[in-house]
Structure 1
Amino acid sequence: MPHSPLQIRTLTTAGLNLIAQALSIYDSDLKLAVCNAPFQHMFDLPDHLVTPGATFEDTIRHLVTAGEYGPVADIEAFVTERVEQALAFVPHYMERTRANGRTISVEGSPLPQRGWVTVYTDITRSKQQEALLRARSEELSDQLVAYSEELSSTNRELAAMNTALAEAKRELTEIEARTRLTTEMMPAHIAHVDDGGHYTYSNRRLSTMFPGRDTEILGRHIGEVLGPRAFERIAPKLQQAYDGTASVFEFGDEASARRIRAAFTPDGRGGVYILSMDVTEETQARAALQQTRRRALAAQMTSGLAHDFSNLLTIILGLQSNLKRLDGLPAEAPALIEATLAAARRGGGLLESIADVTARRTLRPGATDLHALLEDLRTLAAPTLPTEIRLNVICDAPDRPMLLDAGMVQDSLLNLILNARDACGTHGTITIRCRALHETWIEWVVSDTGPGFSPRALERAFDPFFTTKGAEGTGMGLPMVWDMTKLAGGDLRLSNTEDGAQVVLRLPYRPAVAAPTGLVLLVEDREDLREIYRDMLTGLGHSVVEAVSADEATALLADVPDISLILSDIQLEGEATGIDLAARVAGSNTAIVLMTSLPADDALSVQARARAPVLQKPFTAEDLAALTGVLTEAAQ
């Protein structure tokens, strides 16, 4: 059974009383914390001066008054001087002869948090032996006597020094332990390399930044640990740090598909401190926000122009239709009129494409089965392909549902398949491969056996209205795919292989919320909305508890252990937001879904989407069910 603090204090005091030397410990305010019985007996102190809380000043004053230090002309000046010396907290060793004729040594060592541990030793016998040696000096040489005295004094000073060194070592060990604990708790890799690039220090976070890397890296070269491709990316910045210039930069680690932000700082002694952070989710959110802003700017620039252009096309179509009905037109007139009408209609189609690209578009992510999505895509694409073009669909993705806007993904992939079909002509092979990439991305690779992208197409394929199909193309297909991909925080890349063209589409890896029917914590500060959401949740078979703030929700989570899902608004009563609540439950078994009416490009909304699934208000029970992967009969 563990001892109580009182028992521990009693045991400690009993142990100290067994020590031959007198001992006292004063805190940083020079108030007695603890002393042993020999301390009271040695100086014949009254009980109130050996009681915790007694001041050092009162003790010195008592000793001076009792004649401990012999005749003292100005007692208060003597006391003030001793108190000031103690407040300097400087280690010391001294020997003095008391008024009773006995000699004591005094060893004082300051504590790390300030305060004093002082040991008083009666060295009268040692001094008597020294006197005996001096009395027999005719039998011993003067050199031996001096040496003996010096050795005795040195030994006492050495003992005091050893005590101080032991305390310093303990303090340094404690500081090192605190520093290492702090570095291990930080969500970053912190390391140091010497002038040869070998690790001399590292916390154990490397594998969280670079999955698959070893964590036992001390003494190894940074190039060996990171691998040649990653080291090639950082080598110029590392050399820059060796040359004395600090830098902060980002790079992509191909092996893990992560985006890493690194800071290299010279240590002033030839080595470099390294701080690395995984900013993949931040980069995904940043890409989505940038695309949203680009779309808003494009819509602002084109809306007025499109309106006026649409009116002009309407006039042209009307005039051409009237011209077509006139009698006595030349024989070649009908063909020219039809060509003009076709061009005007094509202009109208381009306006619709512009509207599709710039129109406000809200992501509606839901729990999506990737295998089922690709099978549906195969069904949609098959009728559009010539009989001599084969479509291969390979899905190596995990079986668990992913949070995706299935409609947007399907539209993007179908667009890429149709582009591949046009490239192949009458025969060839189109392959779609889907996989999860290090739990960072969901990746689709669409490849074909056509002629591949021309250098100009690789450079300008994402530019609106750029096309290599002549009159048959609008030049809006790939730009729309790029737009939808960036809007979701993803990435789109074009390249050529030995067999043809290849398009790599990546979207953030977001597993769907696992929310089996159970207890849901609803966090919403508006009572009317809580009532609506409560009805949705109970209709899906859930039980519901409610809170109006993140702090109240946190308290409920501590008291109610069976909560399986949190549905929380972003903006709540109090200082903390739903994003703060999501951070508090990160790493636990409790899933969280955030909801908001903020626009997609709002800073809070972007920050929330990087942290958790987000429902855009207004939403229905079906939207909620799709996001959580739970669809009951009530929702159907």
Structure 2
Amino acid sequence: MDHADQRNKAMTTAGLNLIAQALSIYDQKLNLAVCNRRFQEMFDLPDALAQPGASFADTIRYIAEKGEYGEVENIEALVQNRVEQALAFEPHYIERVRPNGEVISVEGAPLPQGGWVAVYTDITRTKQVEQLLRARSEELSDQLLSHAEELSATNRELAATITALEEAKRQLTEIELRTRMTTEMMPAHIAHVDENGHYTYSNRRLSSVMPGRPSEIVGLHISQALGSAAFSRIEPNLKAAYKGENTVFEFSEDHDQRRIRVAFTPDQSGGVYVLSMDVTEETQARVALQQSRRRALAAQMTSGLAHDFSNLLTIILGMQSKLKKMELPDEAAELIAATQATARRGGRLLNRIADMTGNRTLRPKAVDLHSLLQDLKLLASPALPRGVGLSVLDHTPDEPVMLDPGMLQDALLNLILNARDACGTSGQITVSAHSIGRIWIEIAVNDTGPGFSKEALEKAINPFFTTKGSEGSGLGLPMVYDMVKLAGGDLQLANTPTGASIILRLPYRAAPKAQGGLALLVEDNDELRSHFRDMLVELGYFVVEATSVDEATALTADIEGISLVLSDIKLVGDSTGLDLAQRLDQQGPPCILMTSLPLSDPLHREALAHRPVLRKPFTRAQLGALIRTEARS
């Protein structure tokens, strides 16, 4: 605490001690926040019960045992009753006579931040005067009685006004509670910081947006609540907001690499409103969608070019074949052979381009990463020289996750073979895999080769860039990059003290846990519904059916024990299968979507960005793999 804060605290304490009333403030957990000396003196409290943090229940118990409430048969019941009344945080005013004959008034009111303040006033003298006036009322003059009647009328008017104010206060309190409840249910953190960066309001959702942070942050400085690393990322934008600028930005926090979007809005009074939300899934979906669009554009640009280039290569190879049959000098034969080899290499390159820009659709299914990594080592080891070792460090979760095992294995094999070429005849390749929270699966391929050159770090993922000369196509890393981006992940290249490192980061999506039981099938085509029902029955499910989202929603609400939902995306009615899946994500069984829509359809792309989608037609084995049920022949 700095000197100014200490001075302000001392001034506040001195001021509270100078007022005649006793005052106490308890927080929302009924622990003492502050009290003045008069409060301790009025109830003759020990020092321990007049210090911040003292329990309200202990204080009530202490003064009850001293006889403050007269003879009490069950003190613990009295304490419990007073605690329940206090937790209701309702405004109140009472007058009571203490055992020593003193009359006190007690006025309590809730605080906006939670908790309440109580003021205790000694009104003994006032009550004595009232009794004296009543005793001598017959001796008062008519004028005094008239004046008293006027005062009484005025008091009644004041009482009516106070009642109206109390009602307005009650309504404001209800509005505040309703507003707080609404903000606390939002999937975002809403807060306000003053001109010094201290929180004056929070909807207590910071910990849900950034796990590991506190929920009760009112009074804390923003750097204390967020931590030094996160604060350093937001500080420049916060300073801009203090200067009057509206700022919206994103950053990745260190705990589990969540992507956080933050909006700062100046309040025109020196403070700043703060809105922050977790946009990790949105970012993953956006990355996947952007990559799909890039690939579609690349396919459009290259398809015509590749067709014409293929025709040219065919003509070149045909002409070289004719030249080879002619009686030409030996030097010409060598040139013909070199030309044919180059043309064939061009053909292979065209095939690689077609693979990269063609309809490579992710086909996620439940994957045991332990088995995938073990198989990877078995597949890659025979392709390595004796002097090159391969280690696989597997720290992945035990539960299956949704990945395309074929594309992932191809990508990792590609990286291992690149690492082999970098190591030469001796070295070490290490594949390490682990999860980052339940947000990412991270797989790193490290080698002990010479590492990436500066140019390679900048251009390695660009198509046709290669450091292998004529031996390389320059499409290996770009295809790995394409796979990662299609899944909504990211690829990082770096040098380590011992060589090169390539890190794949893929979204962590746990596989559905349905294992037999009752399945809900949502399909509006009668013939298809019958076909899919048979598949589910063969996989061990009992099946109930629906033809629309509304019907499916009603069934999930009325029928207990539904363990799986299989739904078409395009259904009768205004709602789609994606709408149904989003409803069930809150508290419902896992939902698998299926469709015959082309990949170019926006609805298909949107669904694919959030969950696996079965492309019609599909087999029972494909459905079984997706729900982790062994297909039986």
The question of a shared fold, defined as TM-score above 0.5 by the shorter chain, is answered with yes
Q: Which AA in structure 2 matches 1:404?
A: L
Worse-superposed segment, 376-385 or 574-583: 574-583
Which residue of structure 1 aligns with residue 189 of structure 2? 189
Q: Which AA in structure 1 matches 2:308?
A: D
Q: Is this contact kept in 1: 2:365–2:402, CA < 8 A?
A: yes
SS of match in other structure, 2:289: helix
Which residue of structure 2 aligns with residue 481 of structure 1? 480
CA distance in 2, matches of 1:585, 1:132: 80
TM-score, with structure 2 as normaliser: 0.76
Which residue of structure 1 aligns with residue 311 of structure 2? 311
How do 1:34-433 residues align onto structure 2 when only pairs under 5 Å count?
A: 133=140, 135=142, 151-327=151-327, 329-433=328-432
SS of match in other structure, 2:182: helix
Which residue of structure 1 aligns with residue 104 of structure 2? none
**Deviation of the 1:130 alpha carbon:** 9.5
Which residue of structure 1 aligns with residue 499 of structure 2? 500
CA distance in 1, matches of 2:496, 2:215: 36
SS of match in other structure, 1:489: coil
1:506-559 superposed Cα distances (whole Å, 9 cap, x missing partner) = 111111111111110000111111011111111111111000011111111122
CA distance in 1, matches of 2:458, 2:137: 95
1:259-311 superposed Cα distances (whole Å, 9 cap, x missing partner) = 12221111121111111121111111111111111111111111111111111
1:441-470 superposed Cα distances (whole Å, 9 cap, x missing partner) = 111011111111111111111110001111
**Deviation of the 1:192 alpha carbon:** 1.1
1:322-363 superposed Cα distances (whole Å, 9 cap, x missing partner) = 222222x22322222221111111111111111111111111
**Deviation of the 1:226 alpha carbon:** 1.8
CA distance in 2, matches of 1:240, 1:506: 33
Q: Which AA in structure 2 matches 1:467?
A: T
Q: Which AA in structure 2 matches 1:630?
A: T
CA distance in 2, matches of 1:422, 1:229: 39
How do 1:558-577 residues align onto structure 2 when only pairs under 5 Å count?
A: 558-577=557-576
Q: Is this contact kept in 2: 1:367–1:627, CA < 8 A?
A: yes
Q: Which AA in structure 1 matches 2:512?
A: V
**Deviation of the 1:154 alpha carbon:** 4.5
Q: Which structure has the bigger radius of gyration?
A: 1
1:94-125 superposed Cα distances (whole Å, 9 cap, x missing partner) = xxxxxxxxxxxxxxxxxxxxxxxxxxxxxxxx
1:401-433 superposed Cα distances (whole Å, 9 cap, x missing partner) = 111110000011111111111111111111111
1:468 and 2:467 are equivalent in the alignment: yes
CA distance in 1, matches of 2:260, 2:172: 33
**Deviation of the 1:194 alpha carbon:** 1.2
CA distance in 2, matches of 1:332, 1:146: 136
CA distance in 2, matches of 1:229, 1:246: 22
CA distance in 1, matches of 2:457, 2:137: 96
CA distance in 1, matches of 2:616, 2:264: 43
1:43-82 superposed Cα distances (whole Å, 9 cap, x missing partner) = xxxxxxxxxxxxxxxxxxxxxxxxxxxxxxxxxxxxxxxx
SS of match in other structure, 1:238: helix
CA distance in 2, matches of 1:509, 1:497: 26
**Deviation of the 1:252 alpha carbon:** 2.0
SS of match in other structure, 2:319: helix
5+ unaligned residues in a row in structure 1: which ranges? 1-125, 138-143
**Deviation of the 1:191 alpha carbon:** 1.1
Q: Which AA in structure 2 matches 1:193?
A: V
Q: Which AA in structure 1 matches 2:164?
A: A
Q: Is this contact kept in 2: 1:193–1:200, CA < 8 A?
A: yes
SS of match in other structure, 1:362: coil
Worse-superposed segment, 591-600 or 545-554: 591-600
TM-score, with structure 1 as normaliser: 0.75
Q: Is this contact kept in 2: 1:592–1:613, CA < 8 A?
A: no
Residues 505 and 173 of structure 1, relative CA distance in 2, 3 Å threshold: same
Residues 385 and 190 of structure 1, relative CA distance in 2, 3 Å threshold: same
SS of match in other structure, 2:586: coil
Residues 605 and 612 of structure 1, relative CA distance in 2, 3 Å threshold: same
CA distance in 2, matches of 1:595, 1:204: 39
**Deviation of the 1:398 alpha carbon:** 0.7
1:490 and 2:502 are equivalent in the alignment: no
CA distance in 2, matches of 1:545, 1:197: 56
Q: Is this contact kept in 2: 1:199–1:222, CA < 8 A?
A: yes
Residues 265 and 130 of structure 1, relative CA distance in 2, 3 Å threshold: farther
CA distance in 2, matches of 1:437, 1:510: 12
SS of match in other structure, 1:571: coil
**Deviation of the 1:190 alpha carbon:** 1.0
Residues 147 and 256 of structure 1, relative CA distance in 2, 3 Å threshold: farther
5+ unaligned residues in a row in structure 2: which ranges? 1-132
CA distance in 1, matches of 2:497, 2:194: 43
Residues 430 and 565 of structure 1, relative CA distance in 2, 3 Å threshold: same
Q: Is this contact kept in 2: 1:495–1:502, CA < 8 A?
A: yes
CA distance in 1, matches of 2:609, 2:191: 27
1:303-322 superposed Cα distances (whole Å, 9 cap, x missing partner) = 11111111111111122222
Q: Is this contact kept in 2: 1:285–1:606, CA < 8 A?
A: no
Q: Is this contact kept in 1: 2:401–2:508, CA < 8 A?
A: yes
Residues 149 and 601 of structure 1, relative CA distance in 2, 3 Å threshold: same
Worse-superposed segment, 368-377 or 191-200: 191-200
1:448 and 2:447 are equivalent in the alignment: yes
Q: Is this contact kept in 1: 2:549–2:577, CA < 8 A?
A: yes
Residues 609 and 310 of structure 1, relative CA distance in 2, 3 Å threshold: closer
CA distance in 2, matches of 1:456, 1:290: 26
Residues 170 and 246 of structure 1, relative CA distance in 2, 3 Å threshold: same
Q: Which AA in structure 1 matches 2:412?
A: L
Q: Which AA in structure 2 matches 1:575?
A: D
Q: Is this contact kept in 1: 2:288–2:609, CA < 8 A?
A: no
Q: Is this contact kept in 1: 2:621–2:631, CA < 8 A?
A: no
Q: Is this contact kept in 1: 2:523–2:571, CA < 8 A?
A: yes
CA distance in 2, matches of 1:607, 1:308: 34
Q: Is this contact kept in 2: 1:189–1:277, CA < 8 A?
A: yes
Q: Is this contact kept in 2: 1:210–1:256, CA < 8 A?
A: no
**Deviation of the 1:612 alpha carbon:** 3.4
Worse-superposed segment, 308-317 or 517-526: 308-317
CA distance in 2, matches of 1:616, 1:331: 56
Residues 130 and 581 of structure 1, relative CA distance in 2, 3 Å threshold: farther
CA RMSD of aligned residues (A): 2.1
Q: Percent identity?
A: 63
**Deviation of the 1:564 alpha carbon:** 0.5
CA distance in 2, matches of 1:512, 1:612: 10
Which residue of structure 2 aligns with residue 111 of structure 1? none
CA distance in 1, matches of 2:221, 2:449: 44
**Deviation of the 1:385 alpha carbon:** 0.9
CA distance in 2, matches of 1:380, 1:190: 51
1:515 and 2:518 are equivalent in the alignment: no
SS of match in other structure, 2:481: helix
Q: Which AA in structure 2 matches 1:272?
A: V
**Deviation of the 1:132 alpha carbon:** 8.1
